[in-house]
Structure 1
């Protein structure tokens, strides 16, 4: 694939370096670096983990259940922060262009997941004309189970409050928690066969490794659901 997600995100950062005042730029850089340095990687969801049932809220109505998503084969979940996140507005359309067509051809659902409440989260689907699922993880329940949540540090909280806002007001969750960018490939056996978690939200998983993980799973024998 010729288009690189991480190059697009690097371009976003370069534009910020050119255009942002030093103080907010440093807050952004230091928060991301702290998340990398202090990442509790052993708590992150891992390949080989088996997931208990979960329910997500489709922004267009209805519910997405784990067992339904994997009933015909693997499913791919991509966790992102919220509809107005600039990096997410690069990453999710990138997956729409570079991953969704290939997954559709394979009959594999692609779900972009955020804790933002559905009535606000739907903005990103409409803005980019997404055909992939966009779903809300109510109260960050699944993100918490997967160990992928982080809290704004104090400098980031103060910067947001100085603008008269908080992330909890933006997402509708009332908290300072967000998921770190995460990609999961889940098999029919409800096992995680591929997991990629990035503490730095300007570094994310390219499409090709995800597609490779899906294809590796598709060639495996189907599990016996009676004994799984």
Structure 2
């Protein structure tokens, strides 16, 4: 069982983050999150029963690989995340390293994380969370697009990012601001999607217990 939920950790982080950046910038991000929730999960997201697509990916050294190579014929939890610049992503990946990975290894399953960052950004993500599972770069969001989870920050949010000293496009391999919705897909050993959890509000994430319940339910047909 996880020692602390991701939601609780996010609440604790948000308290300090809001105080740090001030009410005006906090309001920008609050509006962006409210708009994302209102729009909901986009059409075109893969659903349970779909075949998992593949795409060329890069590892942290820049070497070519693919999702198929990373998962083989093993049940795999695929995590799409925004980048090393995203504190919610770092928090989540660190929790998955500490709490989810050991449980997956005990079940004979794999964990793979994917973002549109450069390999250097991927390397930073690995360092941020001391991650010991495959963390891969998806140049141009090809894989994320095939899973149907590509989005981008609002213009107001990008302006707020700039005020805070960074721009998403600088981290992405293709120089655009396109990023995936934080998402978890469970793929069975036959390459079939068996669980989908897309978080349009990027401050929320799939809890460890939810992912493990989905994996343990593979024989029962999966959920969304």
Q: Same fold (TM over 0.5)?
A: yes
Q: Determine if contact 1:56/1:135 at 8 Å carries over to the other structure.
A: yes
- SS at the partner of 1:175? coil
1:112 equivalent to 2:113? Answer: yes
| 8 Å contact from structure 2 (residues 139, 173) kept in 1 | no
Task: Give the total of aligned pairs.
Answer: 219
User: Is 1:154 equivalent to 2:151 in the alignment?
Assistant: no
Which residues in structure 2 correspond to 1:31-180 (within 5 Å)?
A: 31-60=32-61, 62-163=63-164, 165-180=166-181
Matched-pair contact (CA < 8 Å) for 2:84–2:125: yes
The two structures, once aligned, show a CA RMSD in angstroms of: 2.0
TM-score with structure 2 length normalisation? 0.89
The residue that corresponds to 1:3 in the other structure is: 4
CA apart distance, 1:18: 3.2
| Whole-Å separation in 1 of the counterparts to 2:72 and 2:179 | 29
- Rounded Cα–Cα distance in structure 2 between residues aligned with 1:17 and 1:67: 40
> TM-score w.r.t. structure 1 length?
0.87
Mapped partners of 1:74, 1:89: distance in 2: 24
Specify every segment of 5 or more residues in structure 1 that has no aligned partner in the other structure, as ranges: 221-228
User: 1-side partners of 2:91 and 2:16: how far apart?
Assistant: 14
Structure 2: distance between partners of 1:68 and 1:107: 16
Structure 2: gaps of 5 or more residues = none
Match of 2:205 in 1: 204
